[in-house]
Structure 1
Amino acid sequence: MIAWVNRWQIPVYIGAMMAGAVIGLLAPWSSAFLEVLVTPALMVLLFATFLAVPFATIGRALKDVRFLGAVLVLNFLLVPVLVFGLSRFVTHDRALLVGVLLVLLTPCIDYVVVFTRLAGGEASRLLAVSPVLMLAQLALLPVYLGLFAGPAILDTVEIEPFVVAFLLFIALPMGLAAVMQTAARRFRAARVVERTMDAAMVPLLALTLAVIFGAQIETVRAHAGALLPVVPLYVVFLVVAPMLAILVARVFRQDAATSRATVFSGATRNSLVVLPLALALPEPLSLAAAAIVTQTLVELVGMVVLVQVVPRLVRRDVSAQF
């Protein structure tokens, strides 16, 4: 059964997203229950992902200044230029503008690791730099928000959700995975857990996709008309950001696996982390949360595509392709 699921990953993921969407639309009352499941589902998925990455490689990856420089240049210099251009199409609606900026300016630190690993990328490198990415977006998000939406918006944004997200989605599952890897050297039960979680990676991701779609689809449906302008912006981002990442990978002369990690770092956004920021905004900006939810749904579909496309685009060292 596990072998079949692994072989047909993409149909499984698409089926899970469709199932979640159908449940959310046919039973709107279920969205509140499913939303409660999003955080634990992500934590278990990330625990399984971290468990599959040897922590010795994380220590080595953290010393890779070239990779760190690449993702910082990509996410905090090039991507903001792209986001500024895209956001000009929704300046007429301040709530949509704030939602687009919040989500597209913040690189993902959690399930990006899952998709990177599925695409054959260096997941350990992303794990190693995730604290730096979190600190950088904490420092630079207010700067870019002030520049792109006006300084008045800064009075409405809170930072606490970033800290909570880092603890729940990075520190806790990574710590548990490190303990389990250490225990596996001595205890058979821990080795069984490692093998089980690795085998369950695809079902866990499918379950997480279904839960997220089921929890959020009703919100998108309720505001569908107002949210239509942001959908093409998110699609364009998913096309252009990977292209920018490949250029960055070329400049930094990365190998294929590292290049794939760079691509996913640039393409995947921190939607589940910034959503609480948007939910805390005042009523006139309430549509910002729905704009972020919409990005989550568009991105998850895009990630399923990129998991298949990126390995074909980056088959060998990027520096050797030009």
Structure 2
Amino acid sequence: MSQEQHGLVERMEDHQVAIYLGAMALGGLLGWAAPAAGPGLEYAINPVLGALLFVTFLQVPAKDLLRSLRDGRFLSAAMTVNFVVVPLVVAALFTFLPADQAVRVGVLLVLLCPCVDYVIVFSGLAGGDSRRLLAATPLLLVAQMLLLPGFLYLFMGPDLGNIVKAGPFLQAFLFLIVIPLALAWALQAWAARREAGQKVSGAATTTMVPLMAATLITVVASQVPKLNGRLGDVAAVIPVYAVFLIVMAFAGRVVARLFRLGAPASRAVVFTGATRNSLVVLPLALALPDDLAVAAVVVVTQTLVEVIGMVAYVRLIPRLVPDTDPDRDRATATTG
């Protein structure tokens, strides 16, 4: 990579939050100005999202995944906050949701699944241990895909089985997780043996910010035309998403303290508990019947709220979880 290209990549990384906000604004403008393009853009979601996840997984060496299985305290904290604490928080918020089934399904799909893409970016910006979080990503993906059907059953009852089919879930798991992960590890193996592979791998990793921006533009632009008079229902979930972010900041900190994690790992736990997997679950929402089409818009709305919330998180979480936490240090000293 030339010095000029390297400088461009660094500038994009330094300004990635502004780039993502601009991408969402551009997507909203495009969706409003050219609603007829919405259906075509939906076909582009899976390819661009698959490319984004491929680049994300490329940064997770296979050996790091195996190492993450032995990172007991961090992995246990991440699993606890995502699959024990989050469902309890969602259950408390569930009663405040509109009675509309499509809205409720959309909220459940997005809030019950932890993020696996830009959480790495925002956690790193706040001084979180992004490397450990990145290594745990495939495990979080597998866990959420296995647990999500059960969670949906608990919240919505057996009738949901007639609406949400297993096929789209399996298809999303194959094309958005298995294939990108396998390709990423294949490229890692090539890079370990050949200089050409190193160059390809290096070039691919520089595309993270543009791919994330392209994904946000595509997703938002494709869903804005679907509002069609449902703006009130969608707006009703915005306070729920905002409260979720506030509650999970403190809940994540409590879980991290229980597992006696250091500040960087604690911040990573806070971020993984708060950020949700809206981009990966969106294809699942898009596969719902037409009368539940607003569920996809509800999912995308969470992305809009969350990215704005992440701007606040980057500034506030280092204060909530400072580098030196006297209370945790005293507790560790007492038990140790």
- TM score, norm. by length of structure 1: 0.85
1:218 paired to 2:218: no
Residue 95 of structure 1, CA deviation: 3.1
Residue 43 of structure 1, CA deviation: 1.9
1:83 paired to 2:90: yes
Native 8 Å contact 1:184 1:191 kept in 2: yes
Alpha-carbon spacing, 1:106–1:49, altered in 2? closer, same or farther (3 Å): closer
Residue 294 of structure 1, CA deviation: 2.1
C-alpha distance in 2, partners of 1:16/1:284?
A: 29
Native 8 Å contact 1:90 1:97 kept in 2: yes
Alpha-carbon spacing, 1:62–1:160, altered in 2? closer, same or farther (3 Å): farther
The equivalent of 2:175 in structure 1 is 168
Alpha-carbon spacing, 1:28–1:286, altered in 2? closer, same or farther (3 Å): closer
Residue 239 of structure 1, CA deviation: 1.9
Alpha-carbon spacing, 1:99–1:53, altered in 2? closer, same or farther (3 Å): closer
Residue 286 of structure 1, CA deviation: 4.4
Residue 276 of structure 1, CA deviation: 4.4
C-alpha distance in 1, partners of 2:318/2:94?
A: 30
2:186 counterpart (179, 184, 196): 179
1:231 counterpart (220, 238, 254): 238
Alpha-carbon spacing, 1:145–1:44, altered in 2? closer, same or farther (3 Å): closer
The equivalent of 2:17 in structure 1 is 10
Native 8 Å contact 2:153 2:160 kept in 1: yes
Native 8 Å contact 2:98 2:233 kept in 1: no
C-alpha distance in 2, partners of 1:142/1:50?
A: 24
Alpha-carbon spacing, 1:305–1:195, altered in 2? closer, same or farther (3 Å): farther
The equivalent of 2:63 in structure 1 is 56
Note the alpha carbon deviations across 1:206-249, whole angstroms, 9 max, x for none: 22222222222222465212222111101111222232112111
Amino acid corresponding to residue 65 of structure 2 in structure 1:
I
Q: Which structure 1 segments of 5+ residues have no match?
A: none
Amino acid corresponding to residue 63 of structure 1 in structure 2:
R
Amino acid corresponding to residue 306 of structure 1 in structure 2:
Y
Residue 26 of structure 1, CA deviation: 0.7
RMSD: 2.9
Map 1:196-215 to 2 at 5 A: 196-215=203-222
The equivalent of 1:247 in structure 2 is 254
C-alpha distance in 1, partners of 2:59/2:281?
A: 27
Amino acid corresponding to residue 56 of structure 2 in structure 1:
T
Map 1:118-197 to 2 at 5 A: 119=126, 121-197=128-204
Native 8 Å contact 1:230 1:291 kept in 2: yes
C-alpha distance in 1, partners of 2:84/2:273?
A: 11
Residue 278 of structure 1, CA deviation: 3.9
C-alpha distance in 1, partners of 2:91/2:280?
A: 21
Deviates more, 1:108-117 or 1:92-101: 108-117
The equivalent of 2:308 in structure 1 is 301
Native 8 Å contact 2:54 2:184 kept in 1: yes
Native 8 Å contact 2:263 2:323 kept in 1: yes
Residue 83 of structure 1, CA deviation: 0.6
Amino acid corresponding to residue 57 of structure 1 in structure 2:
D
C-alpha distance in 1, partners of 2:133/2:155?
A: 28
Note the alpha carbon deviations across 1:89-146, whole angstroms, 9 max, x for none: 1253333223222321222345544544555544454455445434544454344334
The DSSP-based 3-state class of the residue aligned with 1:316 is: coil
C-alpha distance in 1, partners of 2:137/2:58?
A: 16
Native 8 Å contact 1:110 1:169 kept in 2: no
C-alpha distance in 1, partners of 2:33/2:330?
A: 48
The equivalent of 1:44 in structure 2 is 51
Residue 80 of structure 1, CA deviation: 1.3
Native 8 Å contact 2:245 2:309 kept in 1: yes
Note the alpha carbon deviations across 1:269-303, whole angstroms, 9 max, x for none: 23344444444545654443332232233234334
Alpha-carbon spacing, 1:203–1:132, altered in 2? closer, same or farther (3 Å): closer
Matched residue count: 322
Alpha-carbon spacing, 1:11–1:150, altered in 2? closer, same or farther (3 Å): same
Q: Percent same amino acid at aligned positions?
A: 46
Alpha-carbon spacing, 1:27–1:311, altered in 2? closer, same or farther (3 Å): farther
C-alpha distance in 2, partners of 1:204/1:283?
A: 29
Map 1:29-40 to 2 at 5 A: 29-40=36-47
- TM score, norm. by length of structure 2: 0.82
Native 8 Å contact 1:62 1:125 kept in 2: no
Native 8 Å contact 2:49 2:280 kept in 1: no
